[in-house]
Amino acid sequence: MRLILLGPPGAGKGTQARRLVAKYGIVELSTGEALRAAVQAGTAIGRQAQEIIAGGNLVPDEMVVGIVEQRIAQPDARKGFVLDGFPRTVPQAVELDRMLQAKGLALDSVIELRVDEVALLKRIEGRIAEMKARGEPLREDDSPQVLHNRLKTYREQTAPLIDYYRQRGVLRTVNGMASIADVAAEIDGALEVPARAGSP
């Protein structure tokens, strides 16, 4: 099972990705987490990425394409994977197609978590306030200002992927505003329908 979760920050991609990992025995790759780990470790990529991430902008495509290419070549990714936070631009999607084609593989489904932006902002701002109140460490890009920029970046650079995958017949859209359990059930339902059937 090879899946992509698509949706703006705070849409719940990570939560659903982890459940899909457990259900299908596939691996999860979150490019955001991989980049944060690189920043923590102080690698060359991490040093380049730090400021870009802190501003809510996207790192260069080559940087994340390399991370994904290495990860999906690992033996444990043979059963499949769920990508969370990648691709985020059309050139990244084109690169992913190229990588998969070279291995004779295809995507099964791209699941779009559709959310209402106003409600989403409230949800994330609430989450930030709760974490602060509990004294938990915040991500550097978890501030209301940066969040606005992350959403803008999503609208401008990532949302075009919805059409990209719709045209390829693999897009499945679920209501990301529902409860975690309901979103999970909707995703399971969507994955039962063969996404590629009837698509060109």
Closest alpha carbon to 59 in 23, 34, 25, 22 = 34
Identify which of residues 16 and 30 has a Cβ nearer to ligand ADP in the complex.
30
134 is catalytic: no
Q: What secondary structure does DSSP assign to 49-117, as a single string?
A: HHHHHHTTPPPPHHHHHHHHHHHHTSGGGTT-EEEES---SHHHHHHHHHHHHHTT----EEEEEE--H
**How far is residue 21's CA from residue 167's CA, in Å, rounded to a whole number?**
27
Identify which of residues 50 and 109 has a Cβ nearer to ligand ADP in the complex.
50
CB-based burial label for 37 (10 Å; 0-12, 13-18, 19+): middle
Catalytic residue from among 78, 79, 127, 155: 127
Which positions touch ligand ADP (CB under 6 A)? 9, 30-32, 35, 52-53, 56-59, 64, 85-86, 88, 92, 141, 150
Min dist CB 145 to ligand ADP, Å, is 13
Identify which of residues 132 and 196 has a Cβ nearer to ligand ADP in the complex.
132
Catalytic residue from among 2, 13, 36, 172: 13
Catalytic residue from among 132, 139, 155, 196: 139
127 is catalytic: yes
152 is catalytic: no
150 is catalytic: yes
172 is catalytic: no
Q: What is the DSSP letter of 139?
A: P
Active site members: 13, 88, 127, 139, 150
